[in-house]
Amino acid sequence: MQQRQFRRCRLSPITDLSLADFRAAAAVDWRAAVLHGEVSCVELTSTALTAAATLHRLGAFAELDPEFALARAEQQDATVAALRRRGGSSAAQDLAARAPLTGLPTAFKDLVPVAGLPLRLGTRAVPENVPAADHRLAGRTHRAGAISIGKTQVPEFGLPCYTENQLAEPARNPLDPSRTPGGSTGGGAAAVAAGILPFAPGNDGGGSVRIPAAACGLVGLKPGRGRLPDDGPSASVRNLVTSGPLASSAEDAALLFDVMAGHRFTPARGRPRSAAQLAEGPAMRRVRQALQDGLGTLSIGVTTESPFSPDLDIVLAEDAVLALEAGISALAAAGHVVQGTDHCTGADPFWPRGYHHNFRALWTSGLADAPFSDEQLEVLEPLTRHFVETARSRGQDHTQAAVGALQEFADSAEEILGPWDVLMTPMLASVPPPVGWFAGLEPEQNYLEQCRFTPYSSVVNVLGLPAVSVPVHTSDDGLSWSVQLIGGHRSEELLLALAGQMMERSPRH
């Protein structure tokens, strides 16, 4: 990625909404339009920047970089035009294989280094810096032709499941701006759900892709531990964070996942629409084939038991139950066999005992040695400061025992699937709370309420398995509700294909 000077952009309202919504078409269709010369990279980039400025009250962005984004778009337009002059009808196919995201705008979280843009980590406690080079994942996405328009908003260090910090206005849910979009990829989810971006990369250490995807009505994929080449390869249970896509459809999520995974794009065949001639990756191909020809019969287990139980009372909202029922119906309609997990597990707890306390020790263990000065501790959000103080006061033997128990659990991760190909759970237990609700609680209660809100996500990070959040139900008040599908190692393509089938068969309204 070429170097550039850091430029700040003041967000000012723009009232012309005529080009401010990427929900008018799928990302795969915007891609085809660019590569076939029907729309320019500058037009798409301008659309995204206009939408970001128009909808600035959503708080989706920590930073915009319009000058560089437009300059990169102009360069890409020149490249596309030159290739079309030289290569004729094959130019689109060649470019689709080499740079499959050409001209598509996106943005990375303010936890991911992007060359020339400030990295703030959602905190006032540490000074911002301006990286000279992209993180490897950002570089891979840029080389695939994506155009970053800025950085999306995150909570402090990405720790909470809501996106609020002391640097800027909170991120808001486009489905109901009084409510949180979730976190920590809350800014990215808000941008995609509002039509500002066609898709966005996120990262997920305890649900940070799947939670905001569910809150905003998107598909959110958490790949398995070590699946992506730019994530940490360690098999340690301490390696919780993986990177994954957020998008409005399974097909669009597959397009971004194929790039993030470093997959090769090859010509598609047998697809009856304009995007058919363009190269596709293996995840895209799996989704397409599932929608055209089906997947064959899969065995799906369903559980509502949370690993936080019985230490925490987990109560599912009526719409969470309705979403689970909608998911079961959609899977059955696609020809899959669905049964409750008690069919095979009997009365024994589905998840290991002590998970709630062990996960808390693991989640905060890295903060015990964080070199915060007394002055920095005073600046931290109350919840982060509470985590630091708790981690420092916890005995090392306690932490090691908790991590050891979870490592043993993760070492036999696929045993949790039992006789099933895929396990389905609810995604969120309750409606996304109003902005400011979590932060208004005392830190200890704040953390517990976050666990009650998201009782099924963190355990998948501990196991290191892939999972996808799939929107299947819309409540009477217009909010979206999702289910979570958990698969075995290297089943990301299958999960996206299954998500595509479910969304096609789910009457969400």
Whether residue 172 contacts residue 166, with contact meaning beta carbons closer than 8 Å, is answered with no
- What CATH number has the domain bearing residue 324? 3.90.1300.10
Domain span at 279 = 153-509
- The pLDDT of residue 438 is 98
Instruction: Reply yes or no on whether 178 is catalytic.
Output: no
Domain assignment of residue 396, yes or no:
yes
Summarised one tens digit per residue, pLDDT across range 127-139 is 999 999 999 999 9
Calpha distance 349→355 (Å, rounded): 11
Q: How far apart are CA 466 and CA 295, in angstroms?
A: 18
236 as an active site residue: the answer is no
The pTM for the full model equals: 0.94
Q: Return the DSSP state at 119.
A: B
Residue-by-residue DSSP string for 160-213: SSS---SSSPPP-BTTBTTB---SSSHHHHHHHHTTS-SEEEEEESSSTTHHHH
Please compute the mean of the pLDDT values over residues 242-271 and round it to a whole number. 93
pLDDT tens for 415-472 read 999 999 999 999 999 999 999 999 999 999 999 999 999 999 999 999 999 999 999 9
Q: What type of residue is 330?
A: A
pLDDT of residue 20: 53
Per-residue model confidence (pLDDT) at position 272: 46
Asked if residue 130 belongs to a domain, the reply is: no
Which is catalytic among the residues 40, 148, 184, 248?
A: 184
- Which residue's entry shows tokens 């902005």? 435
* Residue 365 domain flag: yes
Q: Per-residue confidence at 343, pLDDT binned at 50, 70, 90?
A: low
Which of 32-36, 86-90, 98-102, 422-426 is least confident?
86-90
Catalytic residue among 46, 109, 243, 457: 109
List all residues 6 or more positions away from 146 whose beta carbon is below 8 Å from its beta carbon.
101, 104, 105, 106, 259
Q: Give the range among 47-51, 92-96, 339-343 with minimum mean pLDDT.
A: 339-343
What DSSP assignment string belongs to 53-104?
Answer: HHTGGG--EEEE-HHHHHHHHHHHHHHHHHHHHHHGGGHHHHHHHH-TTTT-
State the total domains in the chain. 1
Cα angle, residue 475 at apex, residues 473 and 477 outer, rounded to 5°: 150
| Catalytic status, residue 208 | yes
Residue 103 located in a structural domain: no
Across 361-375, average pLDDT: 95
Task: Say if 64 falls within a structural domain.
Answer: no
CA–CA dist 439, 441 (Å, integer): 5
The fraction of the chain above a pLDDT of 90, given in percent, is: 88
In this prediction, residue 458 carries a pLDDT of 98
Q: Check the CA dihedral 456-246-409-161 and report its sign.
A: negative
| CA angle (250 as vertex; 244, 253 as ends), nearest 5 | 30
Task: State the DSSP code for 424.
Answer: E
pLDDT at 413 over 70: yes
pLDDT at 16 over 80: no
Which of 124-128, 226-230, 263-267, 338-342 has the weakest average pLDDT?
A: 338-342
Catalytic residue from among 46, 148, 208, 306 = 208
145 inside domain:
no
C-alpha 445/C-alpha 413 separation (Å) is 30
Which tokens hold the place of 179?
Answer: 């409510």
Helix (H, G, I), strand (E, B) or coil at 137: helix
Per the domain annotation, does 270 fall within a domain? Answer: yes
- Tokens linked to 362: 């693991």
- The tokens of 280 are what? 């596709």
Q: Is 31 part of any domain?
A: no
pLDDT band at 165 (very low <50, low <70, confident <90, very high): very high
